[in-house]
Structure 1
Amino acid sequence: MDAGNISRTKVRAGIVGGAGYTGGEMLRLLLNHPDVDISFVHSTSNAGNHVYDVHTDLFGETDLKFAAELAYNIDVLFLCVGHGDARKFLEANPIPADIKVIDLSQDFRLSNSPEGHKTRTKLFTYGLPELNRDAIKEAHNVANPGCFATCLQLGLLPLASKGLLNSEVHVTATTGSTGAGQSLSPTSHFTWRNDNLSVYKAFEHQHLNEIGQSLKQLQPDFNQPISFIPYRGDFTRGIIASIYIDTDLPEAQALKLYHEFYDKHTFTHVTSHNIDLKQIVNTNKCFLQVKKYGNKLLIISVLDNLLKGASGQAVQNMNLMCGLDEKAGLKLKAVAF
């Protein structure tokens, strides 16, 4: 551990919004993290209840209770609240300057420069380690990327790094039901979702803005449309995206480019073989399959929307910010079967 960042034996963490899917995943990860102690889990609606009353799989793992009040004797604060609520929370609850903040909402992801987003409250760095690892290590506050945004960016960043995104980007991607959050809606009930598929937010998904922002960070002249068709899947967790562009780049060179780009990034792996969701569900990994068909380069990208697409990546960012082993607490077993 880097004593210049965190001098104690363990990092003290607080979680705001601990009752939802991302809050529950954060609890599971941090309870098993060798270098972290959870100081408090905040939830107004569940204050006083054991966390296992909500996250029933944690029965026998912890006696933590949800707290109604915040505590400031912490090193890192995770905001696992809804979109729009993180900004309101920070404006209503000034956080001491020595506490690092990692926000899992979309409130601070967009910026006018690669370095971060200036608000009345904080300066945030965009927390995609495969793009901004060095900046994250020095950051005090991080905006965790969205799940679709992470999946699609990891599929496109190597091409942008060489200025090769010079045609329309076509994307079709399907996400599990947990991507909709824990609050019920007509399209998240089991009876509607099971044995069903549907398109939503075609060509106008909110993650397109942050995807474009990151691609321009590597390829400043990028101005091609990203035609993105998202699907609601009839499974619980995971995202599978198929991405293709027109390019003269041969398959062997494309594979070499992807391997070299992610060579030093421990959670993103490249192959020419078929990949599937069960390889990555319950892990912090992203797998990329790169294949050429005529003049089309096809990239398949798969990840777990709750881990590499949310809480797992947030823990990865915490590890980088606090000078810990980047993989600490994230050596997870895939579902596999």
Structure 2
Amino acid sequence: MKLEVGIIGGAGYTAGELIRLLLNHPNTNINFIFSTSNAGNKVYKIHQDLIGTTELSFTDTINPNVDVLFLCLGHGNSTAFLEKNEFSNTTKIIDLSNDFRLKADETLDNKTFVYGLPELQKEKIVTANYIANPGCFATALQLAILPLAANGLLKDDIHINAVTGATGAGTSLSKTTHFTWRDNNFSHYKAFNHQHLGEINQTIQQLQSGCESKVFFMPNRGNFSRGIFATAYTTFEGTVEEGIALYKEFYKDAKFTFVSDEAVHMKQVVNTNKCIVGVEKHGNKLLITSVIDNLLKGASGQAIQNMNLMYGFEETLGLNLKANYF
């Protein structure tokens, strides 16, 4: 029997990837794709890569009895939507916005959302009914530093530089998303105060209580479509061999996070749900490189991974995707 799935906010990049994954998932049937601005239009008119794949249309009506509900709404809108719309007590919800990621915001009415980073707390996800899917930068950066925090090894500040593709800004046009601005260009934004820092610091305290290390994060805009390339460094007293062994031990059972013996690059992960991590030692600094696809491991792919865990499916089901390596 297939799960009946509903999607709220179906027109964006994240929703487009989610629809693609669900259409090819053996255990799901898309019951409805809610979009008030596109109601009645064929899905492939908006997500043009799906022509010939589906004849589904967007709708402005909701089935409250679906098994799984994915919220692909802008940040701040998921709370308002759930306050206005009722769903069955058996409907499991996976929210891809930032509304419920922090402990202070995790509960709405009788719903308590579990932070959905499988490498951090798979056991809680398995038994959860409501998931707050992590942010894209937050995913890449946490996977770079989780092993250090889990072993109490964050003794100094952490400096991170990361660049994301244009899809990270969503489909709405702005000055910095126009092709003529983005092409052959590079810039930073939200220096040291990006909204994903809340998730990252929360996880650090969860794993290494009382940690006083600060995270200095410089996010950048790249002139490519998708992917995140992040580098983080902090003081580390051990050898590089010890650092690599630490990371490999921590991720030995992870289904999508891998530690490479060679320098990593972004083409290894684009169009996949993988995170690939590289570890180097320079002087007294451990340098960790982390690469993901911002729309997959950073959003929709991780949401499917969480759904698989919640329903007892094989964690990798529907997510065995090949990178766009060439």
Counterpart for residue 228 of structure 1 = 217
Question: 1:237-262: CA deviations, max 9, x gaps?
Answer: 00000000011121111111100111
User: Which residue of 170, 181, 190 corresponds with 1:181?
Assistant: 170
Counterpart for residue 199 of structure 1 = 188
1:176 CA drift (Å): 0.2
| Contact 1:90/1:121 (8 A) holds in 2 | no
Given residue 253 of structure 2, which amino acid in structure 1 is its aligned partner?
Answer: K
1:94 CA drift (Å): 2.0
Q: Extract unaligned runs of 5+ from structure 2.
A: none
Given residue 18 of structure 1, which amino acid in structure 2 is its aligned partner?
Answer: G
Distance 2:211 2:106 in 1: 21
Distance 2:155 2:241 in 1: 19
Given residue 278 of structure 1, which amino acid in structure 2 is its aligned partner?
Answer: K
> Number of residue pairs matched?
326
Question: 1:214-254: CA deviations, max 9, x gaps?
Answer: 11111012121101011000000000000000111211111
Counterpart for residue 91 of structure 1 = 83
Counterpart for residue 251 of structure 1 = 240
Distance 2:112 2:255 in 1: 27
Q: Percent of aligned positions with the same letter in both sequences?
A: 56
Distance 1:271 1:31 in 2: 31
| Contact 1:91/1:121 (8 A) holds in 2 | no
Counterpart for residue 50 of structure 1 = 42
| Contact 2:64/2:86 (8 A) holds in 1 | no
Distance 2:210 2:279 in 1: 24
Counterpart for residue 320 of structure 1 = 309
Given residue 293 of structure 1, which amino acid in structure 2 is its aligned partner?
Answer: H
Counterpart for residue 161 of structure 1 = 150
1:201 CA drift (Å): 0.3
1:73 CA drift (Å): 3.1
User: 5 Å matches for 1:100-139?
Assistant: 100-112=92-104, 117-120=106-109, 122-139=111-128
Question: 1:167-194: CA deviations, max 9, x gaps?
Answer: 0100000000000001001000111000
Distance 1:324 1:136 in 2: 13
Q: Extract unaligned runs of 5+ from structure 1.
A: 1-8
Name the SS of the counterpart of 1:243 in structure 2: strand
Counterpart for residue 256 of structure 2 = 267
| Contact 2:269/2:276 (8 A) holds in 1 | yes
Given residue 285 of structure 2, which amino acid in structure 1 is its aligned partner?
Answer: K
Distance 1:83 1:130 in 2: 24
| Contact 2:152/2:208 (8 A) holds in 1 | yes
Distance 1:257 1:87 in 2: 39
Taking only aligned residues, the RMSD between alpha carbons, in angstroms, comes to 0.9
Distance 2:106 2:24 in 1: 32
Question: 1:268-291: CA deviations, max 9, x gaps?
Answer: 000231111111000000000001
1:118 CA drift (Å): 2.0
